[in-house]
Amino acid sequence: MKPLHLVPDDVNVPFLKFRKIFYIVSLAMVLVSVGLFLTKGLNFGIDFRGGILVEIKTDGPADIGALRDNLGSLGLGDVSIQEFGEPDDVLIQLQRQDGDEQAQMAALATVTKALGDDVTIRRSELVGPKVGDELKEAGVYSVAISLLLIMIYIWFRFEWQFAVASVVALLHDVLITIGFFVITGVQFDLATLAAVLTVAGYSINDTVVVFDRIREYLRKFRKMDIPDLLDLSINSTLSRTTMTSFTTLLALIALFVFGGEAIRGFTMALIFGIVIGTYSSICVASPLLMVLRLRRKIPEGEETQEAGA
Amino acid sequence: MLYFTKWKAALVLLVCALGVIYAAPNFLPKGTFATDASYLPGKQINLGLDLRGGSHMLLEVDINSVIRERYEALGDTIRSTLREERIRYRPRDAGLNGAEVTVVNSDEVEKARDLIRNVEPDTVMSGEGNNIVVSYTDQARKELVDRAISQSLEVVRRRVDELGTTEPSIQRQGEDRIVVQVPGLDDPSRLRAILGRTAKMNFHLVNEEKTASEARATGLPPGTMILPSADAGDRAAGINEYLIDRRVVVSGDNLVDSQPTFNEGRPVVSFRFDAAGGARFGDMTSKNAGRRLAIILDGEVISAPRINEPILGGNGIITGQFSVQEANDLSLLLRAGALPAPMQILEERSVGPGLGQDSVEAGEIAAILGLVFVVAFMVISYGRFGVYADIALLINLILVLAVMSVLQATLTLPGIAGIVLTVGMAVDANVLIFERIREERNNGRTIINAIDAGYRSAMSTILDANLTTLIAALVLFSFGSGPIKGFAVTLAIGIVTSMFSAIWVTRLLIAVWVKRRRPTELVI
């Protein structure tokens, strides 16, 4: 049996020729994401906002309207009630209560009492204002620190142009993934933050593979024009880039479909981020090297080789 | 060279075998190999609370109240010292910065300072003019806090143990926090109820010169306070608060046992004092027969019976409008002792056993299907080499389970997602190698040469690619909490083990194939 190749061996797409289009598309996506993030904002879950979450299972399909009437009349502020995966599974969320942690506790007690004994409480979470603020802070720190560490690592391993280009690509992916959350309104909680960080790791991984090849070809093909060399590098690694993204997506799709409602937002973020990360390592990171005026350093006395040798 | 020395091949096989041995207990009934030695196989992976069901609570001990209390006591000592020496002073409320007094006559300040200096060790004196502030040294303050936290830990442990669940975990976190994790708890409200209370119980006498509302109108008699009543019977009778003598006649610290029981068909709580407490209680009840005794729990009067006769045995009962559950909880709290300071629940996450089970099943299905998809796709794409990569992938999964069992790492729902993600990403190293081999072959190299060059050139890329992902995983681990940590753990372990399996296991398999079959054509 002849193995199936996603990308033909002799692929030769002139990616650099289209770079202006990629820049415009990417810039537009980033600007829309940042703009929406600043105006509309993320739909933060209780991890970051503080508040109460209760997941219940009812006997038979849940009567969302009745639940809304029941819980809405408790005077606990905004109550969000939605079906969660199954018709008899309901997710109830309460906004952060005024006052300290004691007030949150009291509200949770009120809700469980109002729900009565007819429903099974599958899960209850309470995040007080203090912890919510801390988690938000830790989240910002973790994103910042991982970006910084990754940048330092790349800077050690490559020339500075590579470090800058990979971090720009990384920010591109993270910002657009966040934009995805803003647009879809999918709740942003600790798990989705973890997904965003994983996307960051994946994005850099993808970019590094192409960059490694560029560095190799810079040494190998000393007379080739930089744009041609970049194109050649992208094309040589294209098969790998698509293969790995594809297998990862296969695994993630299984997780998305069968992994249960609780991690659906998380999986969705990963799937979206991996698609964007693959796009950016091909169409954004490498062309950026040109903008950053990547030049080869020519050490004395080394032999040069012709392209295609 | 595509050549394995015997010991190198043996080493790869040994690692794989160890992986199988350490991972195996997870597929056998629990306790198949009972062992306590952490390095021996037999341990199963810890399931996180989100998978096995249970409650996680983050509590904060109100350290300030401990410090304020200590400074109040210190202030009392200082004032009585000054009184003995007939130095006139104006008292100040104790704050968090120290006990404070203002000496009235400026020429007595020096004398006062000399007296106060020796009042308590480990204190420093400050303050300007006639003000004197006495506070603990940083060291003493830290010891104070540490003692309060370790006492709190102890009390929390006793209370949680009373619930009779298995393997609760109670740990200090940071300066003033306690994390309580109780697996397999059906009803978190019970845990909430018993952890949310200080359970400081004291006996005071009710001041019956005035009623509470009269006292409110005309001013409190000296040495008294007004406390609310928590007794439903009182409230039904229109009594909402009591005027209470401040002085503690018997302290709850002297309690040694407490049990829920019934009196005249109603749930009540019995208690027993130690010898000293019993004697004091007997003495007090003899002297104050006919007066009302207030039983005060956390600043509320739970019962205020009249003392009809001396109670000499050191035993008593608390009557009140308790439900059976309340009587149970109250006796539990009294048995476990009072917390040195109030605690607040900052965060609570509880998962019912049903949801945990559903999550495990969903995670298993997703993992198996993800694995099947990837395995099939690798074979379609790389033929024989794909089969080798799939074998490496399975070994990688086994190694992840083995490492997690040995480290006793906790598997959470996001952790399962991490494993599934690893399945997708673990083949990356093989994809890199195989693509490289394909290129080298297309460049006209011989079979062995192409394979060898493929591994060699892909190496630095694999390292770079995996290390960057590892950085993200490690940062996640250090900042994340609970479930997210679980994700970071599986991701990080998966990255490391996949480097081994994807590089060495496939290489060994390919080397054996090349040696045995001497292939003349490289189909990849």
What whole-number distance in Å separates Cα of residue A52 and Cα of residue A45?
10
Who's near B57: CB < 8 A, 6+ residues apart?
B179, B180, B181, B191, B192, B195, B345, B347, B348
Query: Letter for the amino acid at B288?
Result: N
* Residues shown for chain A: 309
Give the pLDDT score at B191: 87
Say yes or no for a CB contact (<8 Å) between A250 and B370.
Answer: yes
Residue A205: pLDDT above 60? yes
- Does A32 map to a domain? yes
Query: Letter for the amino acid at B275?
Result: A
Element (H, E) at B259: strand B255-263
**Phi and psi dihedrals of B350, rounded to 5?**
-125, 140
* CA dihedral for B178, B182, B183, B187, sign (positive or negative): negative
- Among A2, A115, A155, A205, the residue to mutate for chain B (most B Cβ within 10 A): A205
Q: A248 with A144: CB under 8 angstroms? A: no
Who's near B158: CB < 8 A, 6+ residues apart?
B335, B336, B337
The residue out of A127, A156, A188 marking a domain boundary is A127
Torsion (CA) B74, B78, B81, B82 in degrees, nearest 10:
-170
> What digits encode the pLDDT tens for the residues B152-184?
999 999 889 888 877 889 999 888 999 999 988
A147 in the same domain as A87: no
Q: Please tell me what DSSP assigns to residue B229.
A: B
| Residue keyed to tokens 């990417």 | A26
Give the pLDDT score at B32: 61
Please identify among residues 486-505 of chain B the ones whose CB lies closer than 8 Å to any CB of chain A. 487-488, 491
Give the pLDDT score at B128: 83
Chain B residue with CA closest to A263: the answer is B414
> What digits encode the pLDDT tens for the residues A237-283?
999 999 999 999 999 999 999 988 888 888 999 999 999 999 999 99
Residue A79: pLDDT above 60? yes
> What digits encode the pLDDT tens for the residues A208-217?
889 989 989 9
Nearest to residue A80, comparing CAs of A235, A225, A185, A177?
Answer: A185
Q: How far is CA A145 from CA A148, B15, B18, B496, in A?
A: 5, 34, 36, 21
How much of chain B exceeds pLDDT 70, in percent? 97
pLDDT-based confidence at A301, cuts 50/70/90?
very low
Domain with CATH 3.30.980 in chain B: 63-137
**Phi and psi dihedrals of A126, rounded to 5?**
-135, 125
Q: What is the DSSP pairing of strand B343-351 with strand A120-127?
A: antiparallel
Say yes or no for a CB contact (<8 Å) between A202 and B469.
Answer: yes
Angle, vertex CA A257, rays to CA A253 and CA A260, nearest 5: 125
pLDDT-based confidence at A303, cuts 50/70/90?
very low
More confident residue, B391 or B424: B391
Nearest to residue A187, comparing CAs of A17, A19, A51, A12?
Answer: A51
Please give the CATH architecture assigned to the domain spanning B200-332: 2-Layer Sandwich (3.30)
**Phi and psi dihedrals of B27, rounded to 5?**
-105, 0
* Fold entry, domain B63-137: Threonyl-tRNA Synthetase; Chain A, domain 2 (3.30.980)
Which of A217-221, A241-245, B475-479 shows the lowest mean pLDDT across its residues?
B475-479
pLDDT-based confidence at B192, cuts 50/70/90?
confident
Domain with CATH 3.30.1360.200 in chain B: 200-332
- Does A297 map to a domain? no
Q: Nearest by CB to A105, which of B196, B365, B424?
A: B196
pLDDT-based confidence at A299, cuts 50/70/90?
low
Please identify among residues 227-286 of chain A the ones whose CB lies closer than 8 Å to any CB of chain B. 236-237, 239-240, 243-244, 246-255, 257-260, 262-263, 266-267, 270
- Count Cβ–Cβ pairs < 8 Å, chain A vs chain B: 238
What whole-number distance in Å separates Cα of residue A199 and Cα of residue A184?
18
Give the pLDDT score at B36: 59
Residue B49: pLDDT above 80? yes
Gyration radius of chain A's alpha carbons: 25
| B93 CA to centre of own chain | 35
Q: Nearest by CB to A194, which of B60, B428, B484?
A: B484
Nearest to residue A277, comparing CAs of A182, A185, A201?
Answer: A201
Residue A234: pLDDT above 70? yes
Which of B27-36, B103-112, B268-277 shows the lowest mean pLDDT across its residues?
B27-36
A270 in the same domain as A165: yes
Who's near A184: CB < 8 A, 6+ residues apart?
A268
- Does A301 map to a domain? no
- Does A299 map to a domain? no
Say yes or no for a CB contact (<8 Å) between B468 and A122.
Answer: no
Q: What is the number of domains present in chain A?
A: 2
* Residues shown for chain B: 524
Count other C-beta atoms under 10 Å from residue A182's C-beta: 21
Give the pLDDT score at B35: 59
Nearest to residue B299, comparing CAs of B239, B236, B241, B260?
Answer: B241
Count other C-beta atoms under 10 Å from residue A268's C-beta: 18
Give the pLDDT score at B493: 93
pTM for this predicted structure: 0.80
Say yes or no for a CB contact (<8 Å) between B366 and A259.
Answer: yes
A256 in the same domain as A115: no
Say yes or no for a CB contact (<8 Å) between A128 and B417.
Answer: no
Give the pLDDT score at A308: 41
Gyration radius of chain B's alpha carbons: 35
Residue A21: pLDDT above 90? yes
- Does A2 map to a domain? no
A220 in the same domain as A164: yes
The answer, for B359 touching chain A at a CB cutoff of 8 Å, is yes
Give the pLDDT score at B177: 93
pLDDT-based confidence at B399, cuts 50/70/90?
very high
Interface predicted TM-score of the whole assembly (ipTM), two decimals? 0.85
What whole-number distance in Å separates Cα of residue A22 and Cα of residue A27?
8
Q: What is the CATH number of domain B6-52+352-517?
A: 1.20.1640.10
> What digits encode the pLDDT tens for the residues B279-299?
989 999 999 988 999 999 988
Average pLDDT over residues A85-101: 86
A245 in the same domain as A190: yes
Give the pLDDT score at A23: 93
pLDDT-based confidence at A307, cuts 50/70/90?
very low
Which CATH number is A120's domain given? Answer: 3.30.70.3190
Say yes or no for a CB contact (<8 Å) between A252 and B378.
Answer: no
Element (H, E) at B397: helix B384-407
A57 in the same domain as A163: no
Say yes or no for a CB contact (<8 Å) between A201 and B359.
Answer: no
Give the pLDDT score at B206: 92
Q: How many CA atoms lie within 13 A of B486 on its CB side?
A: 21
- CA end-to-end span of chain A, whole Å? 31
> What digits encode the pLDDT tens for the residues B360-383?
898 889 989 999 999 999 999 999
The residue out of A94, A127, A160 marking a domain boundary is A127
Please identify among residues 429-488 of chain B the ones whose CB lies closer than 8 Å to any CB of chain A. 431-432, 435, 438-439, 442, 457, 460-461, 464-473, 475-476, 478-481, 483-484, 487-488
Q: What is the DSSP string of B150-174?
A: HHHHHHHHHHHHHTT-SS-EEEEET
What whole-number distance in Å separates Cα of residue A292 and Cα of residue A7?
29
Q: What is the DSSP string of chain A?
A: -PPP-SS-TT----GGGGHHHHHHHHHHHHHHHHHHHHHT---B-HHHH-EEEEEEE-SSS--HHHHHHHHHTT--S-EEEEEESEEEEEEEEEEPPSSSHHHHHHHHHHHHHHH-SSSEEEEEEEE-HHHHHHHHHHHHHHHHHHHHHHHHHHHHHS-HHHHHHHHHHHHHHHHHHHHHHHHH---B-HHHHHHHHHHHHHHHHHHHHHHHHHHHHHHHBSSS-HHHHHHHHHHHHHHHHHHHHHHHHHHHHHHHHHS-GGGHHHHHHHHHHHHHHHHHIIIIIHHHHHHTT------TT---B-TT-
Average pLDDT over residues B511-519: 87
Q: How far is CA A216 from CA A221, B115, B450, in A?
A: 9, 80, 17
Which residue segment(s) compose the domain that A81 sits in? 51-127
Who's near A250: CB < 8 A, 6+ residues apart?
B370, B373, B374, B377, B424
> What digits encode the pLDDT tens for the residues A136-182?
888 888 888 888 888 888 888 888 888 889 889 989 999 999 999 99
Chain B residue with CA closest to A211: the answer is B461
What whole-number distance in Å separates Cα of residue B78 and Cα of residue A161?
69
pLDDT-based confidence at B31, cuts 50/70/90?
low
How much of chain B exceeds pLDDT 90, in percent? 25
Who's near A125: CB < 8 A, 6+ residues apart?
A46, A52, A53, A54, B348, B349, B350
Say yes or no for a CB contact (<8 Å) between B344 and A204.
Answer: no
Residue A300: pLDDT above 60? no
Say yes or no for a CB contact (<8 Å) between B365 and A258.
Answer: yes
- Does A96 map to a domain? yes
- Does A25 map to a domain? yes
- Does A305 map to a domain? no
- Among A258, A267, A270, A275, the residue to mutate for chain B (most B Cβ within 10 A): A258
The residue out of A76, A111, A127 marking a domain boundary is A127
Mean pLDDT taken over chain B: 87
Which CATH number is A28's domain given? Answer: 1.20.1640.10
